[in-house]
Structure 1
């Protein structure tokens, strides 16, 4: 498979490294509007061809698939162009900034017959996959309560760099630069973590978001720091469970941690994923009486990159697909509406949200 890398910022290096490690995958081209950045990226990864625009790369055409690692607001136009050119696409999350755009992308993907996938990276976490299997086989009975959190601390510490001076972080804090804040950035991850792990979709939500003061007049250079830094959400799932979902960039002491707890009427499970690794614990069977938790071996699972390549080779669909990501984006859009309207909202099949409780 000949692969084009679209966008050569920080995350693109991870994509390039993972794809290059797969037998039969050749990185043949890279695209970026910054000539110095794309040249350095291509040199580092041994990529022969570079392009200043996607149009130029499509005109060249000597690639089978593309991995789209552009900023969030660029996903929509570039992915549609790639699909129109007959190229398979792995797109970074979120699929788009709004449900309307994400739905358009999902419809285009469905009509194209091409392999399309969204890089919800935490599908690579084996304990999450094992937890889902246990839930679906009834190991914890009927799920009653779900807790999910995504905690980061890059607004507190400089472990990942200095957000006050680096554009790769500043754009994430500015709605004018296409960011929907922590809700849009990692909200899709924790929503997928919770719904996929529990094998159940979100049906109704109530959400609150907040952008904290971070600089004089909340502005640094061209960046107006108005995107939300934290969100909390209560949700009811299609399996009847009640859930609490939250995320923050102010979570001091947590570089990057996802946690999912699922409590059923016969047992409970806990998945924790951090930069140091992943774990799965269960309180099952006779252990329920005395609240004893034991580690569960989750084995290993293929990465999204491996599954995308295999799907392209086999010519079959693969999850998480564009439609799934679009439905998650609908929930995120509703979260912003719930914050504005101060009411619970129902997730409907239609694009327009409907108030369930005013």
Structure 2
């Protein structure tokens, strides 16, 4: 599904084109090729990276494969946009970031929520100075079950890294971006809401503390009923005012000394914005941001295991 969104962005671009596709399943690779005008398709990544006309790769594979694939792309001298998370451990993510930096290649981590309309509106309000310095952020994304049956790779901690790394990084990355700072600590709690037999938590609460005793509270769920549930709620309290996005269908509102105003809407395709930024060499979220998100998710996992806040090292 995510690959389809990236391909659609490429299809609409006048600056880049789809050269070919790689899938470990030959039948699926052939079907994807047919659906995209008969472009080349293979099960061999090394073969694809050697095709003429290939300058970069977009990777949309299970999380546990990200590190090895990223290193192969770097070794081939190609630019990379990789779906979040950058890797499933900080050690692996650090190695990827170093490999791309040493070769002068552009590395983008697809933290696409940064270029969704709602998050860009919140960031614009913060950058304008209307609310002053953010002190408290609350970000909530509540959704229903989307993972198919119990064999889904996302439910395997070894392949996905768990919910805090697979979906939780969306909010961890966003609140850090909005705060404009790196948190000092992470405290997290998780619940197996759908069933006690789940090997991962499908409901998370994560609290990040930032310098100056500022705080962000993140709530992420894939356990709500009905399965079609989709709810987003954002509140940013600053030294000069407040930004509130109380529901998906409502505009972002700014509460300040001059009264309540609605932020101007932001429109356009998030995946197109993300692609254009990568092509410009200035990704929306680069390797450093991808690494930071992995480190926060790893700390959240440790906190859930210990029941205590986990300090982040700079």
TM-score where L is the length of structure 1 = 0.80
CA deviation after TM superposition for structure 1 residue 272, in Å: 5.9
Q: How does 1:262-341 map to 2 (within 5 A)?
A: 262-271=236-245, 274=248, 279-287=251-259, 293-300=260-267, 303-309=270-276, 311-312=278-279, 314=280, 316-341=281-306
**Is residue 2:118 matched to residue 1:127?**
yes
Inter-partner Cα distance in structure 1 for 2:23 and 2:172: 30
**Is residue 2:146 matched to residue 1:187?**
no
Inter-partner Cα distance in structure 1 for 2:246 and 2:107: 28
Instruction: Tell me the alpha carbon deviations over residues 274-307 of structure 1, each in whole angstroms, 9 at most, x when there is no partner.
Output: 5xx67311112232xxxxx442213336745445
Gaps of 5+ in 1: 1-9, 155-159, 219-224, 288-292, 350-358
Say which SS state the counterpart of residue 209 (structure 1) adopts: strand
Inter-partner Cα distance in structure 2 for 1:239 and 1:305: 36
Say which SS state the counterpart of residue 60 (structure 1) adopts: coil
* Kept after mapping to 2: 8 A contact 1:194/1:260: no
Residues 267/306 of structure 1: CA separation in 2 closer, same or farther (3 Å cut): closer
Correspondence for 1:86 among 34, 59, 77: 77
Corresponding residue of 2:25? 34
RMSD: 2.3
Residues 83/14 of structure 1: CA separation in 2 closer, same or farther (3 Å cut): same
CA deviation after TM superposition for structure 1 residue 98, in Å: 1.1
Inter-partner Cα distance in structure 1 for 2:269 and 2:34: 28
Inter-partner Cα distance in structure 2 for 1:229 and 1:33: 28
CA deviation after TM superposition for structure 1 residue 251, in Å: 2.5
Say which SS state the counterpart of residue 250 (structure 1) adopts: strand
Instruction: Tell me the alpha carbon deviations over residues 163-217 of structure 1, each in whole angstroms, 9 at most, x when there is no partner.
Output: 227x5xx2111224x12232111111011221212333322121112224638xx
Correspondence for 2:4 among 2, 6, 13: 13
Inter-partner Cα distance in structure 2 for 1:38 and 1:334: 37
Inter-partner Cα distance in structure 2 for 1:142 and 1:77: 40
Gaps of 5+ in 2: none
TM-score where L is the length of structure 2 = 0.90
How many residue pairs end up in the alignment? 313
Corresponding residue of 1:63? 54
Corresponding residue of 2:213? 240
* Kept after mapping to 1: 8 A contact 2:67/2:96: yes
* Kept after mapping to 1: 8 A contact 2:112/2:274: no
Q: How does 1:339-354 map to 2 (within 5 A)?
A: 339-349=304-314
CA deviation after TM superposition for structure 1 residue 47, in Å: 4.0
Q: Which has the higher contact order (CA 8 A, sep 6+)?
A: 2
**Is residue 2:261 matched to residue 1:261?**
no
Inter-partner Cα distance in structure 2 for 1:100 and 1:71: 18
CA deviation after TM superposition for structure 1 residue 142, in Å: 3.4
